[in-house]
Amino acid sequence: MKNYLTVKIREVRKKKQKLFCVFLTLGYPSIAATERLILSAERSGVDILELGFPFSDPLADGPTIQYSSEQALKKHVTIREGFRLVQKLRAKGCRIPIVFFGYLNPIYAYGEKEFARDARSAGMEGLIIPDLPPEEETAFQKECRKRKLHIVRLVAPTTANQRARMLVGKSQGFVYDVSLRGVTGARKSLPEDLKAHLSKLKRMTSKPVLAGFGISTPKQARDISRVSDGVIVGSAVIERLKRGVPAAERFIGAMSRAVHGA
């Protein structure tokens, strides 16, 4: 099965463009809304879709994404529904790379081997699991490698250089640069040392380094894209989504144009 994340990164690099990744919470405000947003995101030029699976105790998520997860959990949204949605999108011809964002507990409950199998067969390209250290759960990671399900690693500004090199080396697809000290959430301004941290990571690898956590305006996205290989936007999208799907679609379109230089 073709991995659309690998294909997309190759295409974007060949064109010397930047990558724009959008985070959505599965089932917020509904499964139908998530489906519509993924399809419209692809039309708007979004390069990667990060699909957050609702969890009751998300250690890396701030109030906005926690709220969206709580609302989805009230509707009993499940991992299986997420896989069915991805399968449905692939059957419709949707080719945007879809990366799972979630935590280990739901994966344990599902069954690690079964999760890797079902995620890949549904059409997912990768995983971002903040509470999965590279040194742990090696059997699960081996299963993911076997199925060409990429595990993307996060590197924080507080990560020591030696460990950062290890995480960058093990990251597959791209490297997720955590631009904030703390949890996710839109910010009016970003840390002054962000550019220096991005530059340091880019010197460690030829893989794309994408900045996430806190990016909330087209200007921020445009500015950070100049020193990174792209950006990831989540909480700011969810905030717009509180006003309705059309508001979120307009915002995603504006951010995509900012990242891609339109």
Q: For residue 55, what pLDDT band results from cuts at 50, 70 and 90?
A: confident
Q: What pLDDT, on a 0 to 100 scale, did the predictor assign at position 186?
A: 44
Mean pLDDT check: name the lowest of 89-93, 184-188, 195-199, 242-246. 184-188
Q: Are 190 and 158 in contact (CB under 8 A)?
A: no
Of all residues in the chain, the percent with pLDDT exceeding 90 is: 80
Tell me the average pLDDT across 213-221: 90
pLDDT band at 136 (very low <50, low <70, confident <90, very high): confident
> How do the domains of the chain map onto residue ranges?
4-259
The active-site residue, picked from 42, 61, 229, 239, is 61
Active site residue 70: no
Order across the sheet with 126-128: list the strands: 150-151, 126-128, 98-101, 48-52, 19-25, 230-233, 209-212, 175-178, 153-155
The DSSP code sequence of 12-70 is: HHHTT--EEEEEEETTSS-HHHHHHHHHHHHHTT--EEEEEPP-SS-TT--HHHHHHHH
For residue 213, the model assigns a pLDDT of 83
Is 61 one of the annotated active-site residues of the chain?
A: yes
The pTM for the full model equals 0.94
Average pLDDT over residues 126-134: 93
- The catalytic residue among 42, 47, 50, 249 is 50
Condensed to tens digits (0 to 9), the pLDDT of residues 163-215 reads 999 999 999 999 999 976 444 444 455 556 788 889 899 999 999 999 998 89
The pLDDT score that the predictor gives to residue 157 is 87
Q: Are strands 230-233 and 153-155 parallel, antiparallel or unpaired?
A: unpaired
Superfamily of domain 4-259: Aldolase class I (3.20.20.70)
pLDDT at residue number 242 = 94
pLDDT above 80 (res 72): yes
> Percent of the chain at pLDDT above 70?
93
